[in-house]
A and B are shown apart, each in its own frame.
Chain A
Amino acid sequence: MKLALEILKEQKKYFYLIRRLSLYELKSNNKSNYLGMAWELINPAIQILIYWLVFGTLMRREPIIISGNEVPFINWLMAGFFVWTLFYQSVIQGSKSIYTRLRMLSKMSFPMSIIPSYVIFSQFYIHLMSMLVTFLIFIIINQSINIYIIQLPYYMFAGLCLMFSISLVMSTLSTIVRDVHMLLNSTLKMFLYLSGVLWPITLLSDYPFLMKVMKLNPVYYLINGYRQSFFGNTWSIISEWKYTLFFWGLVLVIFLIGSRLHMKFRRHFIDFL
């Protein structure tokens, strides 16, 4: 518990550094492309188009109904896909954040716990941009958005907490054993299909137990939250309070494990290179 507080304090104290470093992170990722940062949006756009083609038109499926209204598949996909990309990129980049940057940081006195946070932050900027694009598209194609959209910042915050906690665990483990990063990579690919990004989990309504288990998935909680904010007509944070509680409980547990691991090994990271 004490270690966890220490990590939170570090985040607060070095927030300026997190903000600045995340900008350099964005810069260094996209410097060598002519289109630069535009690729951060082009990439997911292409993916969405492919999934739309495969899952939206080629395959037969039931119409998607949220709160009694039918939602076009492409709108539904967009609302959930960008938060999935944010999650995927943050966790992948967060996991390798420490061992790839350690040589450059070198000093042990550097607040190491902000390394995953600034990497996640740089992804978050991209996410905000893609959300803006989503809004613009929804306005153009006349997708109505109602008051429940103000839940969106909450889900963003919840997402950041989840991603930071996971990155804290994974960045430590993958610094010690590099294979962990590889394992994570394939696990995440699996999560794309398990978290209801591409098909509505309600397809499983014949198997209520399986559906319940899948709903406990924290990634599903985020994606579903985004979709409820865009298309729903309830306060899903409260109406699904059991899942909200479970989500935060899980985040807390992961964060506590992560802070313990991180604090235990941070001084010795350099020995594992």
Chain B
Amino acid sequence: MEKVISVKNVSKKYILYRNPKERLLDLIIPKKLGEDFFALSHVDFEAYKGDIIGFIGTNGSGKSTLSNIIAGIVPESSGQVNVKGNTSLIAVASGLNNDLTGRDNIELKLLMLGFNKKEIKELEPDIIKFSELEKFIDQPVKSYSSGMKSRLGFSISVNVDPDILIIDEALSVGDKAFAEKSLRKMREFKEKGKTMIFVSHSLGQMKEFCEKILWLEFGTVRAFGDVEEIIPQYEQFINKYKNMSQEQKNEYRNEIMRKVNE
């Protein structure tokens, strides 16, 4: 099978500064200031064509960072990322221009994705229909509700027919009917053999949809395997983790970090 995503030893470092002054000084003087924070450290992971992979983990485990890196939005600090084909990331806060109408936003977004005039003309009706925005499509986006915005963003990303689709918590907005419809579209993609990555806290959706699960913990890979194998382990862990006190959580975290740094 063809390997479409290969992530090798990838780390993502953010530098945390105490104040803006420190940030500026760090740019100017050679001495290093600020505290390093690794959103991801030494992550390895591979996906083959047609894989449907779920990213799970507690808050701050690096799920979104990893999906952003795969989507080519955020650069990695070190390591290698190879992605074959074009990716499309669907996130709740998809970049729309508030001053333009929904229709203009569709055209603008498609232009930026490299479509030409004719292709845009063809895609536009499908996107509008899928978004169910109807007469709101010619209203400025700033008048939209958050559900409408995410529906529009979702419709654009889904209809451009990407090779790799990354969905970051985007299905949790919008009503049940739209979520159903989106899931149907996902299934269609699944049948077409497209690679998909799901980032979600909803284990139910994961179980139903994904084949493999990547379990991230504080920026490292805890486990990667089949759904049937990982999800029960994760559920068990979550139950334990939920009942920990803050100190226990911190201790647990430090222990993991120590293991990674060794």
Contacts and interface: CB of A to CB of B under 8 A. Distances in A.
A20 B110 CA distance: 11
Contact of B75 (A20, A103, A271): A271
A146 to B, nearest CB: 42
A105 B95 contact: yes
A270 B74 contact: yes
Contact of B104 (A24, A103, A108, A110): A24
B132 interface: no
A19 to B, nearest CB: 10
Interface residues of A, number: 24
B95 A176 contact: no
A21 interface: yes
Given A108-B75, A268-B75, A270-B75, A27 B112 contact: no
A263 to B, nearest CB: 14
Interface in A226-273: 267-268, 270-271
B72 interface: yes
Contact of B95 (A24, A31, A104): A104
Nearest to A20: B111
A16 B100 CA distance: 20
Q: Which of A16, A106, A108 has the most CB of B within 10 A?
A: A106
Given A106-B73, A270-B74, A21 B24 contact: no
B221 interface: no
B99 interface: yes
B111 A28 contact: no
Interface string A152-182: 0000000000000000000000001100000
A31 B108 contact: no
Nearest to A104: B95
Contact of A27 (B75, B95, B104): B104
A271 B74 contact: yes
B140 A31 contact: yes
Given A31-B99, A32-B99, A104-B95, A21 B108 contact: yes
A61 interface: no
B95 A103 contact: yes
B182 interface: no
Nearest to B77: A271
Contacts of A106: 73, 89, 95
A5 interface: no
B27 interface: yes
Nearest to B99: A28
A177 B24 contact: yes
Contacts of B24: 177
A168 to B, nearest CB: 19
A87 to B, nearest CB: 25
A107 interface: yes
A17 interface: yes
A24 B99 CA distance: 10
B64 interface: no
A104 B111 contact: no
Interface string B93-108: 0011101100010011
Nearest to B94: A106
Given A28-B100, A270-B75, A105 B112 contact: yes
A16 B116 CA distance: 9
Nearest to B95: A104
A104 B96 contact: yes
A109 interface: yes
Contacts of A20: 111
Greatest chain B CB density within 10 A among A27, A107, A109, A268 is at: A107
A176 B28 CA distance: 12
A28 to B, nearest CB: 4
Nearest to A31: B99
Given A24-B104, A27-B100, A31-B140, 8 more contacts: A24-B97, A24-B100, A31-B99, A105-B95, A106-B95, A176-B27, A267-B75, A270-B74
12 contacts: A17-B111, A17-B112, A24-B97, A27-B100, A28-B100, A28-B104, A29-B99, A31-B99, A104-B96, A104-B97, A107-B73, A270-B73
